[in-house]
Amino acid sequence: MSNILELQHVSKKFDNDLVLDDLCLEVKENTFMTLLGPSGCGKTTTLRIIGGFITPDQGRVLFEGKDITNLPPNKRQLNTVFQKYALFPHMTVGENIAFGLKISGKSDEYIRDKIKYALKLVNMDDYANRDVTMLSGGQQQRIAIARAIVNEPKVLLLDEPLGALDLKLRQDMQYELIRLKNELGITFIYVTHDQEEALTMSDTVVVMNQGYIQQMGTPENIYNEPENAFVATFIGDSNILGGIMLRDKLVRILGVDFPCVDTGFGENKPVDVVIRPEDVILGEAGKGQMDGVVSHLIFKGVHYEMEVQAGGFEWLVQSTSMFPVGQPVSLSVDPFNIQIMNKPESEDEEAVVVDV
């Protein structure tokens, strides 16, 4: 697969506030890529630079190998689904969808067929003559998607398109989007701050913070092997502990030696350790690697969430078996569930440039 889109050393400042710093990003053809990060991390700015709404101060944007850095949005072969839908309130659903097609001078018959096709694709067959202001948020979102995809863009940009929808609808739309992407066979670049959304839909997740890419990889990769504490805390729940890498495959956490699978950190090196709450195994006291006492218990539906005081640390544990508050328990972790990360030397280094 070749790169359909490439950002090369892109920087952007807003009023002396550095939003993106020397960002490099390659987007492969026909992938679902998500830019994930907290607000102000630069993800939306990145998307707007790709869309052509913002010109970067430095760096280049390449589309199919051609420099489009200074090309205005109406000349780019990509379309955007905006966060607040941005449907034209003075037009019907059909007129909204036809907007881009009319501009490119398509025949009436072609436009009619396309409207029909697009409405079918988003499961809103009979809505062509409806007033867009009368639609619900979810319906407006679908129309916004339909309006973008009828133009057959090679890349579809989506700026937190599900942000304003309620939970159930959001989950439905996530599956819809995956289906759409597979049916259309085009590249999706999706911006969100919702890690669950990112993990559910993406082929590639790009975790961003403070204008830097923190980590880029498959959802599994990002979740299971976070490269730094920021990624670990941002994606899912996690126990992040300070530890000492005694030697390869052995780490000391809270005074207890845990076997792990990581190598190459050196000897007696301070490190950060990530253990996911679902990877902590609770058992009968005295039979695990550490002992502790359950201090909190919440029923979460699929599992129980417990806090366990052990070794002076409050462990977050998720388990399908329940241990009541006050019960002495043992904790153990399988070696391959212990993720070792380099400790950042300073706050700033947390936002390290990860070359991709």
Partner 1 sequence: MFKKKWLTAPYLVFILCGTVIPLLAIVYYGFTDQEGHFTLANITAIADEEHAKALGLALLLALICTVVCLLLAYPVGLILRKHAGGKKGFVVFILILPMWMNFLLRTFAWKALLANNGVINGILGSLNLDPIRIINTPAAVVLGMVYDFLPFMILPIYNVMAKIDNNLIEAAYDLGASGKTVLTKVLLPLSMPGIISGITMVFVPAVTTFVISQFLGGGKIYLIGNIIEQEFTLNGNRQLGSGLSLVMMVFILISMALLNKFDKNGEGSIV
Footprint of partner 1 (CB under 8 A): 51-53, 72-74, 79-80, 82-84, 86-90, 99-100, 103-104, 147-148, 151
CB of 195 to partner 1, least distance (A): 25
CB of 80 to partner 1, least distance (A): 5
CB of 143 to partner 1, least distance (A): 12
Considering beta carbons, is residue 90 or 296 the nearer one to partner 1?
A: 90
CB 209 within 8 A of CB 195: no
Specify burial of residue 278 (Cβ count, 10 A radius: 0-12, 13-18, 19+).
middle
CB of 262 to partner 1, least distance (A): 45
Considering beta carbons, is residue 191 or 235 the nearer one to partner 1?
A: 191
Q: How far apart are the first and last CA of the chain?
A: 16
Integer angstrom CA distances of residue 204 from 17, 160, 190, 220, 284: 28, 16, 10, 10, 40
Considering beta carbons, is residue 114 or 147 the nearer one to partner 1?
A: 147
Considering beta carbons, is residue 151 or 204 the nearer one to partner 1?
A: 151
CB of 223 to partner 1, least distance (A): 33
Considering beta carbons, is residue 132 or 207 the nearer one to partner 1?
A: 132
> Longest C-alpha distance within the chain, in Å?
77
Considering beta carbons, is residue 147 or 193 the nearer one to partner 1?
A: 147
User: Which tokens in the block code for residue 78?
Assistant: 């990509």
Question: What's the CA gap between 145 and 173, in Å, rounded?
Answer: 11
Integer angstrom CA distances of residue 48 from 83, 206, 249, 331: 12, 16, 44, 47
Question: What's the CA gap between 141 and 172, in Å, rounded?
Answer: 12
Of the candidates 197, 195, 213, 134, which has an alpha carbon nearest to the alpha carbon of residue 165?
A: 197
CB of 192 to partner 1, least distance (A): 18
User: Which tokens in the block code for residue 35?
Assistant: 């830019």
- 3-class state of residue 269 by DSSP: strand
User: Which tokens in the block code for residue 101?
Assistant: 């097609």
CB of 3 to partner 1, least distance (A): 22
DSSP annotation of 41 reads S
What is the signed CA dihedral for 88, 92, 97, 100, rounded to 10 degrees?
-60
- 3-class state of residue 102 by DSSP: helix
Question: What's the CA gap between 120 and 305, in Å, rounded?
Answer: 42
Residue 290 zone, left/alpha/beta (φ > 0; ψ -120 to 50; rest): beta
CB of 76 to partner 1, least distance (A): 8
Considering beta carbons, is residue 88 or 117 the nearer one to partner 1?
A: 88
Considering beta carbons, is residue 87 or 340 the nearer one to partner 1?
A: 87
CB of 99 to partner 1, least distance (A): 5
Considering beta carbons, is residue 90 or 179 the nearer one to partner 1?
A: 90
User: Which tokens in the block code for residue 326?
Assistant: 């006050």
Question: What's the CA gap between 189 and 175, in Å, rounded?
Answer: 16
